Chains A and B, each alone.
Chain A
Amino acid sequence: MQNQNDPSQKILIMGVGNWLMRDEGVGVHAAEQLAHLDIKGVDVVDGGTGGFHLLEYFERYERIILVDATLDGLTPGTIRLIRPKYAQDYPPSMSTHDIGLKDLVCSIQLLGKQPDIHLFVVSIESVQEQGVTLTDKIKAIMPELLNKVIAQAATLRRELSQQRA
């Protein structure tokens, strides 16, 4: 019997971003909604603009789904799943909290660890806007984003149980 609270046996979903900067906070908004769903075998964390404070999570969990905004010039609301291995694999200009996440991943690698990271990026239009609500364009894709994240978590859980078996 596996320990239900052992992080290595669970999937971590972490939304990051600055909640005060409208669409840049899309990851945090997603985390808030996902936390309410209480998905089995999944821990949800609102990473905010946590930077180094988040390192511990990257060490504790082996399979991590990240949700973040990106300024990649694609149509606002575009959702992409990226499997970044190195810092340079991250999309350009991850808005005002980019360095934290990239450097976190670099740091984890320096410490000799390599968590399996699945990064959902949502293209946004601007990081200059302030406010705690999402724009209509991003609000509209929220259900699709949540579904994709949940489906990804389910896939990872299946992989995990197959590995165990």
Chain B
Amino acid sequence: MSTRIVVDPITRIEGHLRIEADIENGKIKDAYSSGTMVRLLEEILKGRDPRDAWAYVGRVCGVCTSIHSLTSVRAVEDALDIVIPPNAEIVRNIMFCAQYMHDHVVHFYHLHAMDWVDVVNALKADPKKTSELAQSISSWPKSSPGYFSDLQKRITKFVESGQLGIFSNGYWGHPAYKLPAEVNLIGLAHYLEALEWQKEIVKVHAIFGGKNPHPNYLVGGMACSITTDDISGLNAERLAYVGQLLKQGKEFIEQVYIPDLMAIASFYKDWGAIGGGLGNYMSYGDLPWNGYRDTSSYKFPAGAILDKDISKIYDVDLRKDDEVQEFIDNSWYEYKEGDKKGLHPWKGESKIKYTGPKPPFANLNTAEKYSYLKTPRWKGHAMEVGPLARVLIGYARGHQEFKEVVDKALTDLNVPVAALFSTLGRTAARGLESILVSRWAQDFYQQLLENIKNGDTRMADSSKRDPSKWPSSAKGVGHSEAPRGALAHWINIENEKIANYQLVVPTTWNASPRDGKGQVSAYEAALRDTPIADPNKPVEILRTIHSFDPCLACAVHLYDENGNQISRVSVLGD
């Protein structure tokens, strides 16, 4: 006899995300992932000017804002056959890198770390021992006994005042927390430092994109101008500032994030065998060194891996009718020609047909349609997207930089390659690619300075700005690697207006319901067989779901079988 529990986090990008899990003999037997909120950006975009689409999609969410805008301008540029100047490509890349650094650090400390770090236990740490430990794993200067002792006093006061705030709903004291008090204190200290740090790196977006949040993009290039005299343009002073921010970002990742990640991971090696899931991975690739069209120049290579077999890499073609398709067998939509057939996004439809229970409800009827997310498949396969997919594909393609960071991590933790296919592997991969991205950011920055020095100040190609130069009918696809995985937008343009616009976002790949053949997607697969020590405090579910970095700031509500809320966990997210 199994017990069903419900974890209902709220996401920002997709609306609400809900997990229902059947637990039997202390393990998850089966799990269901449901997006319970409508997202119909497609309908808002129909009939609008394709050149404005980036501004709409950039509003989907405050975190993914720039990556959706980037993907949108790429889709329109693809449809209209526009090649952007090198400087625009580099600026887009630098903004991409800044977003990754921000997003991954914030995810680690503010969304995910509290699944592993026990804040209350940190108050018991010995500041002197904490200092010794911190100095043994990193050269980061803020590591004196006095620093940790002051911090401990501050947090103790905070806790004693009864205003736990952010920390008020954790599963503190749960037996699944394994870190010594000193490691917990380091984690807590860096949680706070990361809060201060993150405000700096996002300034890169304001400098290149004019404002933040929701920076400006432009079809044909970027909206900033390189100048020596205009104070609002990209002058030497602003460029130097960008260089400084990128350098600080790299330092924080190398000296704080990675040492913490490795220290914490070393106490949770058992999670190297939990939460693996599908074993199918896909990346569209990104960060072009030589232009978006030259896919061989991508720092993140593209490809697909099936059944954990990293000796074979498959190519992915987003234009082919039979590769990426979206199914709605278990989704609250209807297709004109029936719900059983998958549709390529260029022919995609987004007509809602809700058939689920009337809220509030205790359980979804998972025997029928149970999600607002469609189910995307690549050649019929369920695929995991995200940092682990990117790192595995870089590793499998033999890229030296990937091999270097992955092999070092495996050696340091003394775990086999197979440990990558897990919750721990997913969380580690996010850190490892952060190292790479923070290095590449320096390379792109130098590339930009070189170009400017050589007199190239072009930032946009405006030859197609006038819609009368467009074909009456055009279609395009833009792809990127969002921090949380492969992202693509497909656009159909008819008579200068958007006729159809379909987004297939990473969280849809990972969090979608099962398909018509009963194949589960990444979340549902990863949760199967996860041990649950206490069904009332399923911290194990949070660990695995958060390892995917669902795009959400989530409040997790927990219900008993009568549908009563018995506890609530707020996990601060991006």
Report A's interface with B, CB cutoff 8 A: 18-20, 46-56, 59, 86-87, 96-100, 103, 106-107, 109-112, 128, 130-132
Q: Does B316 contact A (CB under 8 A)?
A: no
Q: Are A130 and B44 interface neighbours, CB within 8 A?
A: yes
15 CB contacts below 8 A, A to B, read A18-B59, A20-B60, A48-B59, A48-B62, A50-B62, A50-B212, A50-B213, A51-B63, A52-B63, A52-B195, A52-B198, A99-B555, A103-B570, A111-B195, A130-B43
Q: Are A20 and B163 interface neighbours, CB within 8 A?
A: no
Which of A19, A53, A99 contacts B202, CB < 8 Å? A53
Q: Does B326 contact A (CB under 8 A)?
A: no
B163 closest partner in A (C-beta): A86
- Cα A97 to Cα B553 in complex, Å, equals 8
Q: Does B572 contact A (CB under 8 A)?
A: yes
A102 closest partner in B (C-beta): B570
Q: A52-B202, A110-B165, A131-B44 are in contact. List 9 more A-B contacts (CB 8 A).
A: A49-B62, A51-B553, A52-B574, A53-B202, A87-B165, A99-B10, A99-B12, A109-B158, A128-B37
For A59, the chain B residues whose CB sits under 8 A away are 199
B572 closest partner in A (C-beta): A103
For A130, the chain B residues whose CB sits under 8 A away are 38-41, 43-44
- Cα A130 to Cα B102 in complex, Å, equals 29
Q: A47-B213, A51-B553, A53-B62 are in contact. Are A96 and B12 (CB under 8 A)?
A: yes
State the 8 A-B residue pairs at the shortest beta-carbon distance, nearest first.
A50-B213, A99-B553, A106-B165, A49-B62, A56-B199, A50-B62, A106-B166, A53-B213
For B133, the chain A residues whose CB sits under 8 A away are none
Q: Are A111 and B192 interface neighbours, CB within 8 A?
A: yes
- Cα A128 to Cα B39 in complex, Å, equals 9
Which of B12, B199, B214 contacts A97, CB < 8 Å? B12
Q: Are B44 and A132 interface neighbours, CB within 8 A?
A: yes
- Cα A59 to Cα B43 in complex, Å, equals 38
Q: A49-B61, A55-B198 are in contact. Are A100 and B12 (CB under 8 A)?
A: yes
- Cα A4 to Cα B106 in complex, Å, equals 33
- Cα A87 to Cα B167 in complex, Å, equals 11
Q: Most chain-B Cβ atoms within 10 A of its Cβ — which of A20, A86, A98, A128?
A: A20
- Cα A133 to Cα B332 in complex, Å, equals 25
Tell me the B500-519 residues at the A interface (CB within 8 Å): none
Q: Does B386 contact A (CB under 8 A)?
A: no
- Cα A18 to Cα B213 in complex, Å, equals 12
For B165, the chain A residues whose CB sits under 8 A away are 86-87, 106, 109-110
Q: A52-B574, A110-B166 are in contact. Are A103 and B553 (CB under 8 A)?
A: yes
Q: A46-B214, A47-B213, A52-B106 are in contact. Are A99 and B192 (CB under 8 A)?
A: no
Describe A's contact surface by its main secondary structure: helix
Output the least CB separation between A50 and chain B (Å): 4
Q: A55-B199, A96-B37, A97-B12 are in contact. Are A49 and B213 (CB under 8 A)?
A: yes
Interface size class of B (residues with CB under 8 A): 35 or more
B214 closest partner in A (C-beta): A48
- Cα A50 to Cα B199 in complex, Å, equals 12
- Cα A96 to Cα B198 in complex, Å, equals 23
For A53, the chain B residues whose CB sits under 8 A away are 62-63, 202, 205, 212-213
Q: Does B154 contact A (CB under 8 A)?
A: yes
Tell me the B35-55 residues at the A interface (CB within 8 Å): 37-41, 43-44
Q: Are A99 and B573 interface neighbours, CB within 8 A?
A: yes
Q: Does B110 contact A (CB under 8 A)?
A: yes
A87 closest partner in B (C-beta): B165
Output the least CB separation between A72 and chain B (Å): 17
Output the least CB separation between A46 and chain B (Å): 7
Output the least CB separation between A68 and chain B (Å): 14
For A103, the chain B residues whose CB sits under 8 A away are 166, 553, 570, 572
Q: Does B160 contact A (CB under 8 A)?
A: no
- Cα A158 to Cα B126 in complex, Å, equals 49
- Cα A106 to Cα B165 in complex, Å, equals 6
For A49, the chain B residues whose CB sits under 8 A away are 12, 59, 61-62, 65, 213
For A97, the chain B residues whose CB sits under 8 A away are 12, 62
For B172, the chain A residues whose CB sits under 8 A away are none
B61 closest partner in A (C-beta): A49
Q: Most chain-B Cβ atoms within 10 A of its Cβ — which of A49, A87, A106, A128?
A: A49
Annotate B366-392 by CB proximity to A: 1 below 8 A, 0 otherwise: 000000000000000000000000000
- Cα A51 to Cα B62 in complex, Å, equals 6
Q: Are A20 and B574 interface neighbours, CB within 8 A?
A: no
Which of B59, B202, B553 contacts A20, CB < 8 Å? B59
Output the least CB separation between B381 and chain A (Å): 31
Q: Are A132 and B15 interface neighbours, CB within 8 A?
A: no
Q: Are A110 and B192 interface neighbours, CB within 8 A?
A: yes
Q: Does B56 contact A (CB under 8 A)?
A: yes
Q: Does B73 contact A (CB under 8 A)?
A: no
Output the least CB separation between B209 and chain A (Å): 11
For B553, the chain A residues whose CB sits under 8 A away are 51, 99-100, 103
Q: Most chain-A Cβ atoms within 10 A of its Cβ — which of B158, B165, B554?
A: B165
- Cα A59 to Cα B203 in complex, Å, equals 14
- Cα A128 to Cα B141 in complex, Å, equals 48
For A87, the chain B residues whose CB sits under 8 A away are 165-166
Q: Most chain-A Cβ atoms within 10 A of its Cβ — which of B62, B212, B555?
A: B62
For B62, the chain A residues whose CB sits under 8 A away are 48-51, 53, 97, 100
- Cα A51 to Cα B163 in complex, Å, equals 21
A47 closest partner in B (C-beta): B213
Tell me the B14-49 residues at the A interface (CB within 8 Å): 15, 37-41, 43-44
For B10, the chain A residues whose CB sits under 8 A away are 96, 98-99
Q: A50-B213, A106-B165 are in contact. Are A20 and B41 (CB under 8 A)?
A: yes
Q: A20-B56, A110-B192 are in contact. Are A48 and B213 (CB under 8 A)?
A: yes
- Cα A98 to Cα B572 in complex, Å, equals 11
- Cα A112 to Cα B10 in complex, Å, equals 28
- Cα A132 to Cα B46 in complex, Å, equals 13
